[in-house]
A and B are shown apart, each in its own frame.
Chain A
Amino acid sequence: GIQVEQSPPDLILQEGANSTLRCNFSDSVNNLQWFHQNPWGQLINLFYIPSGTKQNGRLSATTVATERYSLLYISSSQTTDSGVYFCAVEYGNKLVFGAGTILRVKS
C-alpha cells in the first residue's frame, strides 16, 4: 500500500513565528487534503489540494504531485493553531492518513 510520511512529528513555535510542514507520499494519488485536528478533537478540512498552490488567510499549501510531496505553510502562528496537522491522500477509493505533526504554539 501507499506510505504517507509527515515531518516533523512535533513542533513548538513561539506565537508569531512561521513554519512549514511536509508530507511525502510513495505513489501517485488522486487527491490530497490537509486537516487540522483541534484540541477538542474536531477534524477541520484546511485544503483540498491534489496539485498546485492554494492560500487561505495565514495558511497556504503547495502540492507537487510529480515529486510526490505537499507542504503546508503557517505564517504568523497563533495559539489557536495548536493541534495536530494531518496530510491525507486518496488512494484506492479511500483516504490514507499520515501520522500527523503535533504543533504547539506558545504565547
Chain B
Amino acid sequence: DTAVSQTPKYLVTQMGNDKSIKCEQNLGHDTMYWYKQDSKKFLKIMFSYNNKELIINETVPNRFSPKSPDKAHLNLHINSLELGDSAVYFCASSQVVIQTPNYGYTFGSGTRLTVV
C-alpha cells in the first residue's frame, strides 16, 4: 500500500551508460515530480508533470528525459551517465485539496544513483 514507490532503490552503473528510474503513485494525485538531492543534502526540483503534461523543466541537461505514460507514473531516463549525476533522486506527487487526507507533497523513498 506504498503511496509513492520508485525503483530501483540503488543503482550503480558505469559512465556512459543509459539508465531508467521508475515511479508510481497510488494516491490519485494529478501532479508528479522528480527531485535531485546532492551530496550536501540539498533538494532541488528537476521536472514536474501535471496529468501527463510537462509543466516544469528546471534547466536540467537534456540527457535527462522524463516520461509520463499516465498520471500515476513518471519515469526518469538518463542517457550517457556522468560522474556528476551521482545523487539521490526522489519522486514525489501532490494534490492540493484542502481538508482531504491527500494534500501536500508525498515523496518516494529515493533512488541512490552511483556512477563509477
Contacts and interface: CB of A to CB of B under 8 A. Distances in A.
Interface string A86-100: 101010011111011
Contacts of B31: 93
Most buried by A among B41, B44, B110: B41
Nearest to B111: A41
Given A37-B41, A43-B107, 5 more contacts: A86-B43, A88-B105, A95-B33, A95-B105, A99-B41
B55 A33 contact: no
B109 A33 contact: no
Interface residues of B, number: 25
A23 to B, nearest CB: 14
B109 A93 contact: no
Interface of B: 31, 33, 35, 40-45, 48, 55-56, 88, 90, 92, 94, 96, 103-107, 109-110, 112
A31 interface: yes
Nearest to B96: A31
Contacts, number: 52
Q: Is the interface of B mostly helix, strand, loop or mixed?
A: strand
A16 B42 CA distance: 29
Contact of A95 (B42, B45, B88, B110): B45
B92 to A, nearest CB: 7
A100 B110 contact: no
Contacts of B40: 99
A31 B98 CA distance: 11
A90 B68 CA distance: 22
A31 B105 CA distance: 10
A59 to B, nearest CB: 16
B109 A100 contact: no
